Structure 1
């Protein structure tokens, strides 16, 4: 029991016995965001025995380290129709899920349990304390209050369907548990995919999402550290064209930043199919009129002819380092006077400003991707309840499903939503099966 006034960080979640006989109501495999949310919801809806099996020594690790230790809980995108546009895979099917539990519901859920969230100008929402430990403490305390039990360092080795008796859950250390229902919420870890496949599910192969791009562009890489807003990107890969506009960061290997991460998320499978090769076209001036850019170049030739290409650039807010790299890119010298700039070179400079073409040499070198595309096919899941259509009594939540979102809190929002829906459905289903509400 929770002691009044006891800090959440000091709360110990009840340990699960080594053998559950008779079967417990629900075993959740995975102590991450979606697993905790599903377990808490099921317990709050009346299930007496809800247990979480976590493979590591500490649950909610990804929550703790996310957002640089701040935890981007969700995004201030309030309409389900707008929210689904931020999911490269699973967007349309998610509309029904978000119509039942979306951003506003998540914000209210945390507020009801003492955690206030605040939106930053870009829409990302963080705890007021600006620390992920506040989110972890909130979830742990909610689990204790609801009566959820946790067993850490329990690596689930296999699941076995036992008909009306439910499931037998066997762990690597030899312990076994019986459960009427099982919720798989193992995130992107291969173990969850293996368990789902063993229960008859076809899985979409896993590929990285949300990564930077390595470019074969020495002149551009010399501008490492520059960040530009409003850059328009067009990527050709896998016979498709993908576009994004936004903030871009030039790195010592290529390009990163929010617009690049969004671009690679939507193009993840096309890029993987092309072995992370392709062509990237960059309009450094974004939405600027092409006619205005051409006029600026002409004005430099006709009205500032004495100045050199290196000292006078056509767009004042274009960083000088980037402009000098574009000169190198087209083979121009910085000391050439504008009056001596031939029309051919003027055309090349125009193309470099609005349609620079770079060859993609692969992903960024540091394994930056922290979201994967792929998982359990959505067509094999009843998305109204998150129950398997292949194996009744088995449920899914979180990143194990073939759903992935952009950066900015969207992946956590899917975890909250799918966990909540699964917990609700499991509780109601078991209560109907027994003919009455279960009590602790």
Structure 2
């Protein structure tokens, strides 16, 4: 049996961040990362389309927590200890400059996730962190004050253990055996599958600022909406998928949404259309796009209002004008299923947050067992927030583990 001071299970973002911070504070500790894959940091690699969306430019803890459908209350204290500005400083100290894009997402200036991966691998090597790949954990037991961990290749013992395996059902099962409650995981970030003539053949069209509501629920969001080959995506949809993760799972991902493409009431829209009808009487409705709607989408909504390409504004009767106002402000679409958002598979579910001390990220059930990242029942909307949770939890856990007893 190989003895270690600290074993970190999971060589992803949270695992490496914890190991590096811990090794920096306590260089005498013998620290090993056990990673089941042949390489680590795979989520870091694919995040943000290969650019790695490291964080989000939100610098007030209270406001930052609002991006976590699960974890909002628990993360307030931790964000006062380590949040966005600390993340920026941490990377910059290690030679990785970050930049803020217009939508608030933060990336390395290099625009390459490899910059983050190289930083972690170099820092881990510099501080003597041992990283063992192809070590899938089979059992975790605690005998008196010592942890015994068996992998597919070896058996280890350790004084302290940090679990940073993300959404891993096998590890959740082992944690259950140690006495933890696991909240059943469901997908959290996903796009909506919609088959509808109004969005057929126009993938890539973006309505810049819409309101979306899931009918029959209080789920509501706003922001850009992207029409895709399979339905709808972008922040307005992804926010609904995150905050509605549990409800939408119960509905088996079959429900209706109402989209307001112009963020005006039906009544205001109708009044505006009446004025346009007078001003553009001789022009074709199809060809005179209004309300900053993308042209291809306007065409589809006009046709859905029982008009054709040659209909002139002067010839539009009251019913067709109302139809068009409805399509613009309260278009109903049937959602039938979901698709993963890019490669970013995020789940709601994991270790029950009531069983974790958020001052240290230590288990309340098992002494000297710590957590960081998505192994906990914490998840966020898209935009760098899931990584911020990983950095914060890993940093605080590393501090707690490093403290002399």
Query: Is the deviation greater in 223-232 or in 398-407?
Result: 223-232
Q: Within 5 A, what are the aligned runs for 1:149-228? A: 149-164=130-145, 166-173=146-153, 175-228=154-207
Counterpart among 139, 144, 152 of residue 120 in structure 2? 139
* In the alignment, structure 1 residue 302 sits paired with structure 2 residue 283: no
Q: 1:177-211: per-residue Cα shift (whole Å, max 9, x none)? A: 01011111111122321221121111111111111
Query: Is the deviation greater in 140-149 or in 227-236?
Result: 140-149
Q: Within 5 A, what are the aligned runs for 1:44-55? A: 44-46=24-26, 47-55=28-36
- The aligned residue for residue 96 of structure 1 is 77
Maintained 8 Å contact 1:48/1:147: no
Maintained 8 Å contact 1:64/1:133: yes
1:300 positional shift: 3.4
1:134 positional shift: 1.2
SS at match of 2:298: helix
Q: 1:42-93: per-residue Cα shift (whole Å, max 9, x none)? A: 2222152111111111121221222222111111111111111111111121
Q: Within 5 A, what are the aligned runs for 1:343-358? A: 343-358=318-333
1:365 positional shift: 7.4
- The aligned residue for residue 276 of structure 1 is 253
Maintained 8 Å contact 1:222/1:325: no
Q: TM-score, normalised by structure 2?
A: 0.95
* In the alignment, structure 1 residue 407 sits paired with structure 2 residue 398: no
Show structure 1 runs of 5+ residues with no match. Answer: 1-18, 433-440
- The aligned residue for residue 435 of structure 1 is none
Residues of 1 paired with 2:339 and 2:141: CA distance? 41
Q: 1:395 to 1:366 in 2, by over 3 A?
A: closer
Query: Is the deviation greater in 342-351 or in 364-373?
Result: 364-373
- For the pair shown, the structure with the greater C-alpha radius of gyration is 1
- The aligned residue for residue 130 of structure 1 is 111
Counterpart among 228, 233, 240 of residue 263 in structure 1? 240
Q: Within 5 A, what are the aligned runs for 1:275-424? A: 275-286=252-263, 288=264, 292-313=268-289, 315=290, 317-364=292-339, 370-424=345-399
- The aligned residue for residue 213 of structure 2 is 234
Q: Within 5 A, what are the aligned runs for 1:24-103? A: 24-46=4-26, 47-103=28-84
1:400 positional shift: 0.6
Q: 1:17-36: per-residue Cα shift (whole Å, max 9, x none)? A: xx32xx42110011111011
SS at match of 1:233: strand
1:295 positional shift: 2.5
1:367 positional shift: 7.5
SS at match of 1:248: strand
Residues of 2 paired with 1:368 and 1:420: CA distance? 26
Residues of 2 paired with 1:126 and 1:224: CA distance? 26
Q: TM-score, normalised by structure 1?
A: 0.87
1:227 positional shift: 1.1
Q: 1:236-260: per-residue Cα shift (whole Å, max 9, x none)? A: 3xx5221221111111221111221
SS at match of 2:81: coil
Q: Within 5 A, what are the aligned runs for 1:248-259? A: 248-259=225-236
Residues of 1 paired with 2:66 and 2:33: CA distance? 32
Q: 1:404-425: per-residue Cα shift (whole Å, max 9, x none)? A: 1121111111111111111111
Q: 1:283-325: per-residue Cα shift (whole Å, max 9, x none)? A: 1112x46554223211233343333332334x25222321221
- The aligned residue for residue 91 of structure 2 is 110
- The aligned residue for residue 3 of structure 1 is none
Residues of 1 paired with 2:148 and 2:306: CA distance? 69
1:118 positional shift: 1.5
Residues of 2 paired with 1:312 and 1:63: CA distance? 45
Q: 1:331-385: per-residue Cα shift (whole Å, max 9, x none)? A: 3333233233221221121111111111111113788651111111111111111
Residues of 2 paired with 1:327 and 1:293: CA distance? 14
Residues of 1 paired with 2:102 and 2:115: CA distance? 21
Residues of 1 paired with 2:277 and 2:107: CA distance? 51
Q: Within 5 A, what are the aligned runs for 1:3-14? A: none
